[in-house]
Chains A and B, each alone.
Chain A
């Protein structure tokens, strides 16, 4: 967004994408190598750090026990918030990142806002008066393109990492319930296998591209964010969100192709992420990525 390129450089990038060879040797469907760690913040219930190319972001999940009049009426079990550090990119200085941050958290909220994404969500309701609310907070430490893809990966990895305290409900006065800690410290985990991931498909010239770098981003006018949830391993993801980004307009005819590419990308991302999450060593309590 903040990089400036000369006309000739842009032409070079656009022609390259058309030929299927980008400036770093990738083809249009290639992601840069992504690094995912979880359990990186000791002060959260679940956390992750995702790096892809120049992009670097951190995600933490905090569980809060909420008391209310009627928990069936309260719907937002997951709260997403995104913060754009001013160190990440000059465009985020002052309040510059607020609009973009809201766009990101909104997209995440929308992608998760259905019964298919996390079927386990009902478990977060403890009693007619109590439920768990999970705050998913993402900080963008460095801006290097493909932020929404990385943010969704970070959110899913952090939720996978999240351990929620086991509690018991007890009858109290006036038909109310109270919450108590049982003997021993027990925790449980949400099943996030089908939590959605998001892929941003960017239109450069007349070609669709995944995982754009900053330079490529300046050559494009429009992008489509496609969120998908993999219901069963190996099957095509279910589209839970589509959103247009990047300011420009898209031809209706090209949107179908972009969604299809997004679905493919989400499917591949999800398979690789689940592989990585399953293989990763269990976290050491008290260890952070700072140490």
Chain B
């Protein structure tokens, strides 16, 4: 008889957690309340005059009023309100992970969880067989062989169009089509922009942290000369690597649920601090809150240490 049939069934039915995940972390006292000034739409941003009106504000009777819910940011005399929640706003140079949704004339449309689909031009990808070659009509006809609908890619933002849509490029060996792995979608505002977004973690797996909130967990980082277009779908990832990846995905999810910034340090901290639990236990709300608060405590301890 089939192994899985005989394997035990595990069910856990309980009452919902008494407070939502971010609030639970706040209650643990491990996170201090931010010192930023928070406003909601209609709040006065500043009562003193002489400021310039930035994004997220408007003037009424000479007073600056917020149009968004978020924190007030000031650069010299320019005042803006940065929204707490928003879709991904791309910046040139960002590493993103996106999914191809459409193949069009000389371009792919890529879903990057931005307001509009991003485009990846055929002329801004590396195709197999040499970096600097002109794209021919044959290449145009073979576009779907390289990337088709549903494929995941890592790319860099090359340009932000006037309408806010992004133009991507993959002209670097580290970018391109992604092979086997786990993708985890988190809110883009939780991703911390860093120098490096490709990490080979010491635990034995790799992550690509897309600025658009798409975290890709893979067995290893690849730098294929062919841009990853030739994939071996027969390859079986070892159980050991797989369990590391499963744990990493659980860690990323729990960090996101508790509104903890996501970058290599927090992911690794969560991975190490969760060692006492099974990877599947990270789905449990109480365990997740416990680990998130340990991570926050650890990061803060390290930050104060650096100050000293």
Interface residue from B7, B150, B249 paired with A29 (Cβ < 8 Å): B7
CB distance from A194 to the nearest CB of B (A): 18
Interface residues of B in 144-173 (CB under 8 A from A): 149-152
B142 beta carbon closer than 8 Å to chain A: no
Chain A, residues 219-237, CB within 8 Å of chain B (1/0): the string is 0000000000000000000
Tell me whether B7 and A20 are in contact (CB under 8 A): yes
Interface residues of A in 243-291 (CB under 8 A from B): 254, 257-258, 260-261, 264-265, 267-269, 271-273, 275-276, 280
A35-B14 contact, Cβ under 8 Å, with A25-B246, A207-B2: yes
Surface stretch bound by A, among B48-56, B57-65, B187-195, B275-283: B275-283
CB distance from B232 to the nearest CB of A (A): 9
Tell me whether A37 and B16 are in contact (CB under 8 A): yes
A33-B12 contact, Cβ under 8 Å, with A11-B180, A11-B233, A15-B236: yes
Interface residue from A9, A53, A276 paired with B14 (Cβ < 8 Å): A276
Interface residue from A5, A16, A37, A207 paired with B242 (Cβ < 8 Å): A16
A265-B14 contact, Cβ under 8 Å, with A20-B4, A21-B242: no
A33 proximity list for chain B (CB < 8 A): 12, 14, 283-285
Question: Bound state CA distance, A164 and B152, in angstroms?
Answer: 54
Question: Bound state CA distance, A207 and B242, in angstroms?
Answer: 17
Chain A, residues 1-43, CB within 8 Å of chain B (1/0): the string is 0001111110110011001111111111111111111000000
Question: Bound state CA distance, A275 and B7, in angstroms?
Answer: 22
Interface residues of B in 234-292 (CB under 8 A from A): 236-237, 239, 242-243, 245-247, 249-250, 253, 278-285
Tell me whether B2 and A35 are in contact (CB under 8 A): no
Tell me whether B246 and A27 are in contact (CB under 8 A): no
- The number of chain B residues with a CB under 8 A from chain A is 49
Closest to B284 in A: A33
Chain A, residues 25-69, CB within 8 Å of chain B (1/0): the string is 111111111111100000000000001010000000000000000
B179 beta carbon closer than 8 Å to chain A: yes
Closest to B153 in A: A6
A208 beta carbon closer than 8 Å to chain B: yes
Tell me whether A25 and B279 are in contact (CB under 8 A): yes
Question: Bound state CA distance, A74 and B285, in angstroms?
Answer: 46
A88 beta carbon closer than 8 Å to chain B: no
Interface residue from B4, B99, B281 paired with A28 (Cβ < 8 Å): B4
B11 proximity list for chain A (CB < 8 A): 31, 34, 265, 268-269, 271-272
B133 beta carbon closer than 8 Å to chain A: no
Question: Bound state CA distance, A280 and B282, in angstroms?
Answer: 25
Tell me whether A23 and B239 are in contact (CB under 8 A): no
CB distance from B76 to the nearest CB of A (A): 43
Closest to B4 in A: A28
B77 beta carbon closer than 8 Å to chain A: no
B231 proximity list for chain A (CB < 8 A): 7-8
A104 beta carbon closer than 8 Å to chain B: no
A84 beta carbon closer than 8 Å to chain B: no
Tell me whether B246 and A8 are in contact (CB under 8 A): no
Tell me whether A268 and B15 are in contact (CB under 8 A): no
A29-B10 contact, Cβ under 8 Å, with A8-B179, A23-B182: yes
A26-B12 contact, Cβ under 8 Å, with A21-B243, A260-B5: no
CB distance from A3 to the nearest CB of B (A): 9
Looking at A19, A24, A28, the one whose CB has the most chain B CB atoms below 10 A away is A24
Interface residue from A26, A34, A257 paired with B13 (Cβ < 8 Å): A34
B181 beta carbon closer than 8 Å to chain A: yes
Looking at A6, A210, A272, the one whose CB has the most chain B CB atoms below 10 A away is A6
Closest to A279 in B: B15
A209 beta carbon closer than 8 Å to chain B: yes
CB distance from B193 to the nearest CB of A (A): 26
Question: Bound state CA distance, A35 and B14, in angstroms?
Answer: 5
Question: Bound state CA distance, A15 and B283, in angstroms?
Answer: 21
Tell me whether B278 and A25 are in contact (CB under 8 A): yes
Tell me whether A31 and B9 are in contact (CB under 8 A): yes
Interface residue from A24, A261, A267 paired with B279 (Cβ < 8 Å): A24
B3 beta carbon closer than 8 Å to chain A: yes
B178 beta carbon closer than 8 Å to chain A: yes
Looking at B2, B101, B278, the one whose CB has the most chain A CB atoms below 10 A away is B2
B130 beta carbon closer than 8 Å to chain A: no
Interface residue from A12, A27, A254, A258 paired with B237 (Cβ < 8 Å): A12
Closest to B219 in A: A12
B8 beta carbon closer than 8 Å to chain A: yes
CB distance from A148 to the nearest CB of B (A): 15
Tell me whether B283 and A32 are in contact (CB under 8 A): yes
Closest to B239 in A: A19
B134 beta carbon closer than 8 Å to chain A: no
Question: Bound state CA distance, A129 and B14, in angstroms?
Answer: 42
Tell me whether A30 and B149 are in contact (CB under 8 A): no
Question: Bound state CA distance, A8 and B181, in angstroms?
Answer: 8
CB distance from A127 to the nearest CB of B (A): 39
Add 13 more A-B contacts to A30-B9, A33-B284 (CB < 8 A).
A5-B150, A12-B181, A15-B237, A22-B246, A23-B182, A27-B10, A28-B7, A29-B7, A29-B10, A153-B13, A261-B5, A261-B9, A275-B13
5 contacts between A and B (CB under 8 A): A12-B182, A23-B245, A23-B246, A24-B283, A272-B12
